[in-house]
Structure 1
Amino acid sequence: MTETVGAVRQGVGESARRPDAALKVTGEFAYASDLWLDGMVWGATLRSPHASAWIRSIDVGPALRIPGVHAVLTHEDVPGEKFYGLEHKDQPVLAIDQVRYQGEPVALVAADHPETARRAAAAVVVEYEVRPAVTDPRQAAGDPGAPRVQPGGNVVRRQPVVRGETFTAEVVVRGEYTVGMQDQAFLGPESGLAVPSEDGGVDLYIATQWLHVDRDQLAPCLGLPPEKVRLTLSGVGGAFGAREDLSMQAHACMLALRLNRPVKIVYGREESFFGHVHRHPAVLRYEHGATRDGRLVYVKADILLDGGAYCSSSPAVVGNAASLGVGPYEVPNVRVVATGVYTNNPPCGAMRGFGAVQACYAYESQMDRLAAACGLSPVEVRVRNAVSQGSRLITGQVIDSPAPLAEMLRTLEEMPMPGPTGGDLRELPGGVSQTTRGESVRRGVGYGVGIKNICFSEGFDDYSTARVRAELVGGEPHVTVHTAAAEVGQGLVTVQAQIARTELGVDAVTVATADTAVGSAGSSSASRQSYVTGGAVKAACEAVRERFQGLPAREALEKFGPIEETREYRHRPTFPMDPVTGQGDSHTQLALCVHRAVVDVDTELGLVKVVELAAVQDVGRIMNPQALEGQIHGGSAQGLGLALMEEIQVRDGRVLNASFTDYLMPTILDMPPMRLRILEYPDPAAPYGLRGAGEPPTLSSTPAIAAAVRDATGLPLTRVPVRPEDIALR
């Protein structure tokens, strides 16, 4: 492999300025919801009010009679295949004979004005025959007499992990834990603009995470070949997994093709809650056995994940929960079973850290119980069982790159603690609304450890493509990088430019808008883009540099003219888990993060204030220090939300809090100061030795905060989010 060019401004390792930063801060950035074309009309969706019902009739006449309405479409108007899906094609473009969750799309309307479109959608008359809904995942998984949500049964995937034969120990701790349904809660709602083209195809400008898989699902439903369905990434206002699945893509394209004019669809906040998948709620039963000095002998776990009405990415979520189900600890004997089920609850799929987040809360709660039972500190019990390079996961996979978990824990333990709260009411739980003056406030400290797989797993053909062009512009070298990788706010555009500057020694770099005119880059998920798309950009730049023939960029381009190269990058292969034993090298790379949380809890009012979060994370190689710190802060904030406030409330299959008034999220007032220690132990198999960093903080912050609240209250608190009544009404 060739050596990189010498130091260059804004290259790898520097806090290069994001090109979108100022625009986003000033409100000038163009998001997908800002798209506009003359002559466009607006689309709206009619959604089911029921969690489970037969559709007996649909009357579109009243909607069509409203002035300004151009079209009303139902499943009969789908021009191609009627079903799509991320992993299995089980989801109808529009409901056919039944609805399986509240909010399922039933009909589409196009009108001159968005309010007209919404009124017309409400005017469509649908006759439903409501039927009993399956909303308890335990019933769906274990009751043979439960109604089938999907024709093939209610189990999406069941994945055991079996290892060893010893399941007795001197110390045994057991627990059952519950994780609520968290929403990605991005600020930019689902939105896009579909434009019919002269060749009979369609151009879709869309906020998404995965351009090519969107296209591959869309084209069959539209009855078009893939080359006639062209997607261009528009400004994305956050994603966190929810934009991996289709939302309004097929609907906008259907209307545009029917009317032969541009159609724009933008969801409101309430509709957004129904228009995308959520984090799987989970029930997790664990049993840990250990020696008296706290060394693990065995772990048993039963992990049940509620996937809702359709498959989405549930199989992969189950795989992650199973393979990472005991955490980054050496355990010789394991009996883990992870099961994902269909219910009539809202569909669940990808959310930051999927599968690993739910398991992490449970196994870390168990490690605290084990520490107490053995008379050890929470840090010491984790250090004694910590994996390191050369250790085996419960799947038998060897950790073949640095895993400095014990060092990370000791570093975290030695970091300074925050001082006591002063007399200022604003520093107390509840802030200035505090009514007790803090007499019942208690401080607690908790620790959390998480392990997350990086890149796609279990044999998925995970790769990315990059096209790099070097040329003279105005007599100066200029580089254009073109990939289909979705910038969803994580800073990927900046990292691609940093790599090109570093490899080619050229300051002027433009990252072209992502679209399907270049090969696939996969999804902006699984903390994979810096690894895989970064690797593709690096490889394409190296190919360009080889054609410089040792000359500086300007001289080479003067001599040879423009140079363009396209390269694919694939990481080392992975393999499916054995369906019976769960054994197999299923993951590409593993990342570790550890958190310490300090909280103040008003035990009388049930209020919690997170005083400080401290984190230590190994990232292999820091690509952009400022962006990396932002990722750790952001992931920790989402973990805090899951620990203390974020939950979609679902009763009998109905969502009760589909608004930012009632769905509570951390604000800047809830996020505490953070202390960070970032370690660099390069992974020799990864580009630059980097390790994906976006998801691991989301795992370990949740159990750390929950543990700190337990420490302050003495309560078991086996469910997240922890609610005020869980504390105050005891």
Structure 2
Amino acid sequence: MVVNVDSLVHAAETGKAAGVGESALRPDGVAKVTGRFAYSSDLWLAGMVWATTLRSPYAAARIRSIDTSKALAQPGVHAVLTHEDVPGAKTYGMKSADQPVLAVDEVRYHGEPVALVAADDPETARQAAKLIIVDYEPLDPVTDPMTVLDEGVRPVHPDGNLVRHVKIRHGDMARARGEADVVVTGEYEVGMQDQAFLGPESGLAIPSEDGGVELCVSSQWLHKDLEQLAPCLGLPPEKVRLTLAGVGGAFGGREDLSVHVHACMLALRLGRPVKMSYNRYESFFGHVHRHPAKMRYEHGATKDGRLVYVKARLVLDGGAYTSTSPVVIANACYFVTGAYDVPNAEIDGLAVFTNNPPCGAMRGFGAVQSAYGCESNMDKLAHELGMDPMELRLRNAMTTGTVLPTGQAVDGPAPVAELLQALRDRPLPPAGAADLLSLPGGAANTTHGEGVRRGVGYAVGVKAIGYSGGVDDISTARVTLAVVNGAPVVSVHTAAAECGQGVTTVQAQVASTELGVSRVVVLPADTHIGDAGSASASRMTWMSTGAVQGACRQIARELLRRGSGFSLGNDQVLDSAGRPLCSIADLVGSDTLTHTFEYHHRPTQGIDPETGQGNAHIAFAFAAHRAVVDVDVELGLVKVVELATAQDVGKAMNPLAVEGQIEGGSVQGLGLALMEEILVDREGRVRNPSFTDYLIPTVLDVPPMPISLFEFPHPDSPYGLNGVGEPPTLSSTPAILNALRSATGLPLPNAPLRPDDIALARGRAAS
């Protein structure tokens, strides 16, 4: 089924309760667009003090001593803490507890936290932090990920310089090489991208009467935060409570801890509330980024365009600490061959430690990097074969039953050909800019179109949904039905993090659908309810929906038993013909019906460490893009004219929200293609930690993005839904670069692409 997004009618406009499949308006939408929504940085409590962080100016240095006396003597300063003041474990981490709460005897990246200051106001805290004297012995930083494993290179990390080596061996590569008529190789590079969320890291820590602490914080995974936080505070988990504060975007950057331990340490030390809120500069140092990648691809095919094998080597720079690098590199390797049927593969993926900033989760989680390499090399293969790039993709498109390089067969929908055909059949935008603002360079008026060429590029991406490799993913929901002022009201309580993706709205839609009740309240997410997992891996709607649906259906059974009915709707119990039998309110009466449900997806297994074989995934999602670009080949200026996409979403739970997710993911891919990169010099220093120098797309950069939504229900998910948020980031970047290669005839191996990459390359070619 294809959904026409333009024809949607908002459920709220009809006066009906929004159910599954309707475009429900977000309960927080009006408050956010009018500026009345309370984000975590807006939190305030009487008597609170403000905290800030002193961070290392070096990427690599030993710490000889720290003198805090001058800072502590300043009026209005209440505390200055170092590693000696950490009450419990001195390290934490998502996958390995290797990241210091505060640097102990060495700093390993530019911006590593060294000390904390709490004061009456933010400015006093910042000025006092400048008075802390740290005696550093600078070391030569190790910043080149391609040489970090060479013999004689100084170890960056206590465990050495290798985070993980992922090996995937599939089929018979020796035989496959003999069958390939055409072989192409390509080397590609992806820069370090920032999540660039609008709300910097912030939180408010409040000491409790029992000696514990409460933390209101913007996060993606409250229970994982708690798992790391409590040991560092030296407290049992039951004495540490986390509540989700308003989140201003995440995209993976809030999976790791930021202000958590620091704010709570100070609150416990002072016995009063402590607020930490990073400014934009500090935010660039306060969270992980997308791994920069260097990749070498080799595609072998028959002369009629059938893929025979893929060989690839990926190197991801994980920076100074582990974070989620072991699983990011695994995810990158799983999907090296893209959304294609590839019978033979040899894949090596390495994540390494350097003295560069730590890298970890970001939307697409490794598959963005490998999709870029794969789709770039597919266009190169098509050129070598003299074949249309779309035809090459269709000829090798993955289908249900295709066996992945990990040995797992795709048992759900795999509509790769359908997505590509939808884009191929869509009319192209008219050529010729209507006005100067539509030309490359826009309002800068740098070209009148003399050197402008148009290019069209395609790309398709595939990614697993949910955690992989044997992780028992769960999500817990507690649903309560009671009568309030004579009407039935459902309350839903989960720990699911609302990061702007709309999970709160979906939970209300599920409850309304399952229980037939108009009024649904979604309670604040906190750690008083069981784990909901992370708002990542395109899993939250699937898992949270399963948990809420399961709890609701237990209550629905009780209602139907009491009312001897067939179904529920419009606050009534209905017979088999849909006629009301009695009101839900009458059945509930003074009772409170409550049920807690823990949802699990089907089991997965880890991959074999030597061969990479294993049934590691529960489901797969697919997206494809067609980019149309105009580029001034003399100046290197680029205008993305249109970025059309087709995506299978299984079931559009909230079509309007689905559209927003696809648009947002596509724009992040556009940013990675043309402008977004954290620049780190050879000394490991970040050179552009601001939105003045780190560029992200504005509304003037965003082209029309026509969307074709396909609904191929997944057999294992609630309502047949599938993950939506990450797939658009996979194919948008390579589609744009493929379009630019089409327009310029240049190889353009790096993302992001800059004007000089085109202008200077053409100059060199001309000479």
TM range (shorter): over 0.9
Q: Is it true that 1:562 corresponds to 2:592 in the alignment?
A: yes
Q: How does 1:570-581 map to 2 (within 5 A)?
A: 570-581=600-611
What are the within-5 Å matches in structure 2 for residues 307-456 of structure 1? 307-456=318-467
Which residue in the other structure is 2:679 paired with? Answer: 649
Quote how far apart the aligned CAs of 1:423 are: 4.3
Q: Could you say which residue in structure 1 is the equivalent of 2:157?
A: 150
Q: 1:626 Cα shift?
A: 0.4
Q: Using the alignment, how far apart are the partners of 2:67 and 2:156 within structure 1? A: 26
2:522 corresponding residue in structure 1: 511
In structure 2, how many angstroms separate the alpha carbons of the residues matched to 1:594 and 1:301? 22
Measured in 2, the distance between the counterparts of 1:600 and 1:173 equals 27
Tell me the residue number matched to 1:4. none
**Aligned counterpart for 2:177 among listed residues 167, 176, 191:** 167
Bigger mean CA offset, 401-410 vs 481-490: 401-410
Q: 1:636 & 1:542 partners in 2: Cα distance?
A: 36
Other structure's SS at 1:674 match: coil
- Give 1:559 deviation, angstroms: 4.9
**Structure 1 match to 2:566:** none
Cα distance in 1, alignment partners of residues 421 and 679 from structure 2 = 39
Deviations 1:474-499 (A, max 9, x none): 01000000000000000110000000
Aligned amino acid, residue 732 of structure 2:
S
Distance 2:121 2:644 in 1: 50
Contact 2:441 2:447 in 1 (8 A): no
Structure 2 CA distance for aligned equivalents of residues 434 and 722 of structure 1: 21
State the partner residue of 1:3: none
Report what 2:477 is aligned to: 466
Q: Pick from 717, 723, 726: which aligns with 1:686?
A: 717
Task: Give SS of 1:123's match.
Answer: coil
- Please, what is the CA RMSD of the aligned residues? 1.0
Aligned with 1:312: secondary structure? coil
Match of 1:34?
42
Give the aligned partner of residue 578 of structure 2: none
Q: Write the distance in 2 (CA, Å) between the matches of 1:328 and 1:431.
A: 35
Match of 1:621 among 651, 656, 663: 651
* 3-state SS, counterpart of residue 138 of structure 1: coil
Which of 97, 102, 105 matches 1:94? 102
Contact 1:548 1:556 (8 Å CA) reproduced: no
Which digits, 9 at most, give the CA deviation of each residue in 1:631-662, with x for residues without a partner?
00000000000000000000021000000000
| 1:693 Cα offset (Å) | 0.5
Return the TM-score normalized by structure 1.
0.98
- The CA deviation at 1:560 is 6.9
Find the aligned partners of 1:63 and 1:421 in 2 and give their Cα distance: 63
Structure 1 stretches of 4+ moved >2 Å: 549-553, 555-560
- How many Å apart are 1:359 and its aligned residue? 0.2
Please say if 1:590 is aligned against 2:620.
Answer: yes
Aligned letter for 1:664? L
**Whole-angstrom CA distance in 2 between matches of 1:291 and 1:414:** 27
Inter-partner Cα distance in structure 2 for 1:333 and 1:68: 66
Q: More deviation in 195-204 or 375-384?
A: 375-384
Quick check: 1:470–1:557 contact (8 Å CA) kept in 2? no
Deviation at 1:562, TM superposition (A): 1.1
Would you say the 8 A contact 1:621–1:688 is kept in 2? yes
Instruction: Please list, as runs of the form range in 1=range in 2, the aligned pairs for 1:13-28 lying within 5 A after superposition.
Output: 13-28=21-36
Per the TM alignment, residue 555 of structure 1 is displaced from its structure 2 partner at its CA by 4.8
Contact 1:48/1:106 (<8 A) preserved: yes
Give distance in 2, aligned partners of 1:475 and 1:204. 36
Which letter maps to 2:483?
L
Report the Cα distance in structure 1 between the residues aligned to 2:555 and 2:601, rounded to whole angstroms: 21
The one of 667, 671, 674 aligned to 2:702 = 671
Q: Distance in 1 between matches of 2:384 and 2:371?
A: 20
Q: Look up the SS of the partner of 1:140 in the other structure.
A: coil
For the residue of structure 1 that corresponds to 2:177, the secondary structure is coil
Aligned residue for 1:533? 544
Partner of residue 752 from structure 2, selected from 713, 721, 726: 721
Secondary structure class of the residue paired with 1:617: strand
Once the two structures are superposed, the pairs formed by residues 261-272 of structure 1 within 5 Å of their partners are 261-272=272-283
CA distance in 2, matches of 1:341, 1:64: 39
Mapped contact 2:482–2:590 kept (Cα < 8 A): no
Asked if the contact 1:192/1:252 (under 8 Å) is kept, the reply is yes
Residue aligning to 1:44: 52
Whole-angstrom CA distance in 1 between matches of 2:227 and 2:219: 14
Letter in structure 2 aligned against 1:425: L
Distance 1:145 1:557, change over 3 A: farther
Separation in 1 of the partners of 2:641 and 2:222?
41
Find the residue that maps to 1:531 and give its secondary structure: helix
Report the CA distance between 1:561 and its aligned residue.
Answer: 1.4
CA–CA distance in structure 1, aligned partners of residues 498 and 585 of structure 2: 33
- For 1:548 and 1:720, the matched residues in 2 are separated by 56
Contact 1:8 1:505 in 2 (8 A): no
The answer to whether the Cα contact below 8 Å between 1:683 and 1:691 also exists between their aligned partners in 2 is yes
Shift of 1:587: 1.0
Gaps of 5+ in 1: 1-6
What is the alpha-carbon distance in structure 2 between the residues aligned to residue 325 and residue 422 of structure 1?
37
Contact 1:462 1:522 (8 Å CA) reproduced: yes
**1:216-235 equivalent positions in 2, closer than 5 A:** 216-235=227-246
TM-score normalized by the length of structure 2 = 0.93
Between the aligned partners of 1:102 and 1:167, the Cα distance in structure 2 is 45
- The CA distance in 2 between the partners of 1:688 and 1:549, in whole Å, is 21
Q: Distance in 1 between matches of 2:133 and 2:727?
A: 47
Following TM superposition, by how much is the alpha carbon of 1:376 offset from its aligned partner in structure 2, in angstroms? 1.3
Structure 1 residue corresponding to 2:88, chosen from 74, 80, 83 = 80
> What is residue 108 of structure 1 aligned with on the other side?
116
Give yes or no for the alignment of 1:210 onto 2:221: yes
- Following the alignment from structure 1 to structure 2, what is the Cα–Cα distance between the partners of residues 9 and 614? 32
Give the secondary-structure state (helix, strand or coil) at the position aligned to 2:559. Answer: coil
Aligned ranges for residues 278-289 of structure 1 at < 5 Å?
278-289=289-300
Q: Aligned equivalents of 2:243 and 2:268: distance in 1?
A: 17
Q: Could you say what secondary structure the match of 2:748 adopts? A: coil
Q: CA deviation at 1:89?
A: 0.3
2:148 aligned counterpart, secondary structure: helix
Report the Cα distance in structure 1 between the residues aligned to 2:37 and 2:611, rounded to whole angstroms: 50
SS of equivalent to 2:241:
strand
Give 3-state SS (helix, strand or coil) of 2:147's partner: helix
User: Separation in 2 of the partners of 1:556 and 1:328?
Assistant: 53
Q: Distance in 1 between matches of 2:488 and 2:389?
A: 56
Counterpart AA for 2:708: R
> Percent same amino acid at aligned positions?
63
Secondary structure at the aligned position of 1:655 is classed as: coil
- The one-letter code matched in structure 2 to 1:250 is V
Distance 1:381 1:722 in 2: 25
Q: CA deviation at 1:411?
A: 1.2
Spell out, residue by residue over 1:352-376, the C-alpha distance to the aligned partner (whole angstroms, 9 max, x if none). 0011000000000011011111121
- The SS at the match of 2:666 is helix
Deviations 1:652-697 (A, max 9, x none): 2100000000000001100101111111110110111001000000
Contact 2:483 2:590 (C-alpha < 8 Å) held by counterparts: no
